[in-house]
Every structure is written in C-alpha cells, then in structure tokens.
Amino acid sequence: MTIKPAAKMVSHEREHIPALMFRTITVAAAALALIPAVNPIRFSALISENVSLFTCVISRGAIMTPFTRALMRGWINAGLLNQVYIYALAMMLALAAMVAGGCMSLGNGSLRRLGGRIACVSAGVGLLALLVSRVAAATFASLEEAARIEPLTPMGTWVFVGVFAGSIVVSGWMLRMERRRNSGRAHAPEPYAMPAKYSLFLMALPFTALIVVFSYLPLLGWRYAFYDYKPGFALTADRFVGFKWFAYLFQNAATKADIARVMRNTLAMSGIGIATSWMPMAFAIFLTEMNAPAPRKLVQGITTIPNFISWVLVYAVAFALFSTEGFVNSMLISLGVIKEGGNFLMSGANIWLKMWLWGVWKGLGWSAIIYVASISGIDQQLYEAASIDGAGRFDKMWHITLPGLMPTFFVLLLLSIANMLSNGMDQYLVFRNQMNKQTIEVLDLYVYTLGLASGGSSNISLATVVGMFKSVISITLLFAANRVSFWIRGESIV
C-alpha cells in the first residue's frame, strides 16, 4: 500500500521534467538574444562585435550604418541588408513567442499545452529563418568585393540552431507527456488558469528585466576606470593602469579642490530640497481640502504641467523674465525703481536658493500627486467620527490626514537622502555660465563636464571613478538612513 503513492509521486515528478527543461531553454534563448558574441546575423566584420541580435532588431541602423561606404561604392546591395534585417526580426519574434510559451508552462494543463504548441511552432519558424539566412551569408562571401565586406560565419548560428531545435524537441516531449497524462480521461475542457504566485511573478518580470538592462548592465562601464581610455579606440587597445585614477582623485590638488567644491554645492542644494520636502505633502493636503472640484482640478493641472516642460524651455522663460532687457527689468525701470537693468541670471549670488525656487515651481504639483493618492486611501470613517466629536477642518487635517501621510513621507524622505548626490544635471547645465559656475556646478554636472569636455580635454576614466564613488556613497546613505529609520520609527523600507 505504501509503494503505490511513492510510485505515483515519482511519476508526477517525471511529468514535470520536460516542463522544467522547456523553461530553461526559453530563459537561455532570451539571454542569448542579448549577448553580442552569439549574434547569428553578424555575417560581416563590419557589423560591430558589440551588437546583439536584440540590438539589430530594435535599431536597423546597427546593420545598415556600417555598410554606408560599401553601399555608396556599390560593393553591396541594400536589398541584401534588408533581407538580413528581416531574418533577424523573424528570429527575434520567434524567440519572443518561445518565451511566451515558456511563461504559459507555469499554468495548468491547458495553458501548458497551448504554450508548448506556440513554442514548437515559433521555434520551427526561427529555425527556418536561421537556415534561410545562410543564403545571405553565402551571398556575402560570393560578392565581387567580398574582401572589402569581410564576410564571417557567426558562431551564434550554431548556438541558435541548438536552441531552436532543442525547443522543438523538449516542447514536443512536454506535449506528449500532457497527452499521456490526460489519455482516457473524459471531462470538459479545462479553462486556462495559472497560480497567483506565478502570474504576479510574470507581471513583475518585465520591469525586473528593464532594471537589469538599464541599471545593472551599464555597470560594465566601470571597467573604463582601470584603463587610460582614449575616445575613438577600443578598450582592449588602451593601457591597463589599475588604480591609477583612484589614487589621482585623492592626490591631485586641483582635482581635490574641484571635488570639494562640487560636493559642497551638491550637498547644499540637496539639503535645501530635503529640508523642504514637506512642501508637496502640505500642498496636497490643502489641495484636497478644496471642496469645489473645478477649481481644484484647475490648480492641480496648472501646478503639474511645469513638470513636463524641459529645462531648456524653463531657461528660455527665465531669460525672458530676468535678462538685462527682460520683463522684470523693463517693469522696474518703467516704475523708476532702478535706472539700469541687470542680468539676474549672470549673478552667482544666492544661486542655491534660485535653483531651489525653480525646482519647486517645476516639480511641486507633480510631487504632490502621490500624496493626493495616499489621502484618498485614508478611511473616510475617521473623518466622519471626528466630525461627530466636534473636530474642525484643521483638527482633522492635523490629527487624521497628516498622520495618514507620514509613512509615505518617510519612505520618500529616505529615498531623497539616498539620492543626495544624484540631483541631476539638466537644470544646472542650462543655467550655468562663467559668473555662477563655481557655485552652481553639482556632482552630476561635474562628471558630465569631466567626461565629455570639448577641446580634447575629456577624461572618461577619471569621470568613471567619480561616478563609481557617487554610487557607493549613495548606497551607503540609503542603508544608513534605513537603519536610522528602523531605530527611530521601528520601520524600514529595505
């Protein structure tokens, strides 16, 4: 009696083996599409070795641009390059469908069978596109000016052949196991369903992938800090210098002075922002207290729209108002307050306060949105009970609304502390001039200027070192603020 359940358990586990293998292959296929070394359509050495299949699909120029000279000289036909792009697109769509099928394999039997069929068909399409693309590869090698095109046989061809063929075999195996498990059963068709834990995981997966692609993969650029990098040359052609630029950052007197100056500016402006971070919350509280819907929407719209205006246009407005011949000077002269106009934008006096005021004007309404949403989530029965007890409007704001917003406020405060060194550069770049440069230049703007300065004086390696230290300090500030919050409030965000 004890052997049969064990045998059933072993059989049940074996049924899940093809599904696990199928998911593994789909994950590997998605990863291979992002790896340049196995790009299956790199039929020529002119195509950059740093370009992946995914990049070729989302940017057709990655295929066409390297052949600009060859197209102009007639060494290659544009139709051939268009064929290569079509092959790449077909393979990428096949990979996407395979990934979708792999996601469906997390569901019930009906969803697994549908995912298996989709993956099997899409893998067949991808394999066909890959094999047909060999015709394009042969055409590259048979051109009259083949030596100028530098034809190649990409290693990724055989890698993707294995992936597509493996997907066909494993998905077929999974479908066969599903048919065997359901053979002899007479029941109504099972509706498509997936456990909540898997559906929530798949909902979060695209955003996790975006974070990995745009936040973690760029960290590979940190390797520039260990080379004497010269723009225009491959990194492998530059000299490896180890921690030379790290030491230079602390040993060079001019660099240390610049770092101290920009850190002072950065911490001062961020400190002003943190000290006034309660303003969006207060604005949201008073905004929601407006009983008339039309004026409330009007005020919220007027204060939110500036967030979508670029800093270049903001500077254009500031120039029209505060330049020597701007509106403010013209009005003061006409009133007899001053005799001669002055350019307020050229002055470095009180520049921290000026930048803070422009930031408040641009972001106050937008920053208040999250507080408005939090206020709508406060239990309305608390307000009703307070009204019964005789509480006035300001009493309810102080004792109900404000405490209800404090958790949101502290989370945003911790994030602001962690981002003290990352206060952006657009605002300071457009307002910077020779008169206020010493007091307006923040760390992000300094890194930008250091790495992309004109006149051939850029130092990308040193700029990378400064950026690395900024990231490390920001992470340290986050965990320190989180620990302090836990000690004081008993709550943390990490």
Does the pLDDT of residue 457 top 70, yes or no? Answer: no
Average pLDDT of the segment spanning 321-330? 84
Give the model confidence (pLDDT) of 17-63 as tens digits. Answer: 787 888 888 888 888 888 888 899 888 888 888 889 988 898 888 88
Does the pLDDT of residue 366 top 60, yes or no? Answer: yes
Q: What is the pLDDT of residue 14?
A: 56
Q: What is the pLDDT of residue 390?
A: 87
What ranges do the domains of the chain cover?
3-194, 235-489
Q: Is CATH 1.10.3720.10 the classification given to domain 235-489?
A: yes
Q: What is the pLDDT of residue 190?
A: 73
Supply φ then ψ for residue 52, to 5 degrees: -95, 175
Give the model confidence (pLDDT) of 272-311 as tens digits. Answer: 999 999 999 999 999 998 888 888 899 999 999 999 999 9
Does the pLDDT of residue 2 top 60, yes or no? Answer: no
Comparison of pLDDT for 309 and 143, the residue scoring more: 309
The CA distance from 443 to 265, in Å, is 8
Give the model confidence (pLDDT) of 69-117 as tens digits. Answer: 888 888 888 888 898 899 999 999 999 999 898 888 888 878 888 888 9
Contacts of 44-50 with C-beta under 8 Å, sequence gap 24+, read 44/140, 44/149, 44/150, 44/151, 44/152, 45/150, 45/151, 45/152, 46/70, 46/149, 46/150
Does the pLDDT of residue 322 top 80, yes or no? Answer: yes
Q: What is the pLDDT of residue 155?
A: 82
pTM for the full predicted model: 0.72
Average pLDDT of the segment spanning 119-136? 88
Does the pLDDT of residue 11 top 50, yes or no? Answer: no
Q: What is the pLDDT of residue 12?
A: 46
Is residue 82 within 8 A of residue 178, CB to CB? The reply is no
Does the pLDDT of residue 3 top 50, yes or no? Answer: no
Q: To 10 degrees, the CA torsion angle through 35, 38, 42, 45?
A: 90
Give the model confidence (pLDDT) of 168-193 as tens digits. Answer: 998 888 888 878 777 655 555 678 88
Does the pLDDT of residue 327 top 80, yes or no? Answer: yes
Contacts of 414-418 with C-beta under 8 Å, sequence gap 24+, read 414/478, 414/481, 414/482, 414/485, 414/493, 415/478, 415/493, 416/270, 416/273, 416/274, 416/277, 417/274, 417/477, 417/478, 417/481, 418/474, 418/475, 418/477, 418/478, 418/481
Q: What is the pLDDT of residue 485?
A: 81
Tokens of 403: 């405490």
- Chain-wide mean pLDDT for the chain? 85
Q: What is the pLDDT of residue 94?
A: 92
Q: What is the pLDDT of residue 186?
A: 52
Q: How many helices (H) and strands (E) does the chain have?
A: 24, 0
Q: What is the pLDDT of residue 10?
A: 41
Does the pLDDT of residue 8 top 60, yes or no? Answer: no
Q: What is the pLDDT of residue 183?
A: 67
Q: What is the pLDDT of residue 9?
A: 42
Q: What is the pLDDT of residue 270?
A: 92
3-state secondary structure at position 240? strand
Q: What is the pLDDT of residue 488?
A: 79
Does the pLDDT of residue 453 top 80, yes or no? Answer: no
